Amino acid sequence: MRKFFPVEELARDERFNKITMRDRMGDPRTALNVSTDASGKRTNNFRLTPGRRDASDGARGLMHGIFVGEIQALEGAGRTCWDFETDTEAPFALKLDMARQCWDEARHVEISVKLSDWMGSEIGQYAENTVLFEAACSTDPVLRLAGVNRALEGLAIDVFTTMKEFGDLAGDPYLEFCEDWMLADEVTHVKMGSDWLRKITENDPDRRKKALEFQSVVDKLFSYGGTRSDSQESPIGLARRFRELAGFTDDEVADIAEVSMQALNERKSAVAKMREAADQFASSAAAE
Ligand SMILES: [Fe+2]
Ligand SMILES: [Fe+2]
């Protein structure tokens, strides 16, 4: 069996549509784009809650994103078991952890399919971008764990916490409990990433630095537009307590909070500029 499998050749049937991260964020059904509440009033609270006008589409889109993320997490953890020589490149115990993760992710795929069905959507209704698997293509297992387990599954902790609260507020015990159980697994996966990163790079500060840099690149990429931050203006909150349980230090959580707020502020100023330009255009058109 070949090692280091290219992202272009991932097995997907005709239901799946691959798009870029940029296109995905441009999907008008994404939870990021709508700024009115259920009564149609403009609001600064974008948190994904049942009170949002686009709550159904936003929650379904997020659920589909979770579903394709679970497939790629399964594929990535599986590759880490296979791509590296045992002990010389990756400790046997690390591979055992990745094998356990495969088992969890396979279960999450099944849960996500059933939840999507329960929420009234189907496979392929939203597109897939494969950034998660791409982060799992690094030739260094420590970089994979930093990028996938710490950055992306760290984001999964934030997403599951928001979706769990959504289920609670919507009075949907299926959604709430499923998200809660998957959240518990994700905290374990992130903890595996934190523990192995520290253990393997204990006497190799350069490798640790490289891995943390890779993690922060992935974190930044997924902070796009301020989708996730402490502010209610972000659809997804930052799950500080669960991140602590997953082995993030206070400083690391503070860094992610800062990067997320920066991304949110950048988006807000870009939107303000566009509105200003639109207003100017409208007033000059009216004057003519
Ligand atoms: Fe998962
Ligand atoms: Fe996971």
- pLDDT tens across 111-162, in order? 999 999 999 999 999 999 999 999 999 999 999 999 999 999 999 999 999 9
Nearest ligand atom owner, CA of 67: 1
SS3 18: strand
Nearest ligand atom owner, CA of 107: 1
Residue 65 CA to ligand 1 center (angstroms) comes to 11
Tens digit of pLDDT for each residue in 248-273? 999 999 999 999 999 889 888 888 88
Question: How far apart are alpha carbons 102 and 80 in whole angstroms?
Answer: 10
Residue 138 CA to ligand 2 center (angstroms) comes to 18
pLDDT of residue 135: 92
Phi, psi of 20, rounded to the nearest 5 degrees: -85, 165
Residue 105 CA to ligand 1 center (angstroms) comes to 5
Nearest ligand atom owner, CA of 149: 2
Residue 274 CA to ligand 1 center (angstroms) comes to 37
Residue 160 CA to ligand 2 center (angstroms) comes to 11
- Which residues in the chain come in under a pLDDT of 50? none
Question: How far apart are alpha carbons 67 and 125 in whole angstroms?
Answer: 12
- Indicate the angle between helix axes 153-170 and 173-200, nearest 10 degrees: 160
Residue 82 CA to ligand 1 center (angstroms) comes to 19
Question: How far apart are alpha carbons 38 and 54 in whole angstroms?
Answer: 8
pLDDT of residue 1: 86
Is 265 exposed, middle or buried (CB count within 10 Å of its CB: 0-12, 13-18, 19+)?
Answer: middle
Nearest ligand atom owner, CA of 190: 2
Residues with CB under 5 A from ligand 1 (ion): 70, 105, 108
Residue 185 CA to ligand 1 center (angstroms) comes to 7
pLDDT of residue 39: 67
Please name each of the domains of the chain with its CATH number. 7-213 (1.20.1260.10)
Residue 193 CA to ligand 2 center (angstroms) comes to 10
Find residue 86's DSSP bridge partners. 90
Residue 185 CA to ligand 2 center (angstroms) comes to 7
Residues with CB under 5 A from ligand 2 (ion): 73, 153, 186, 189
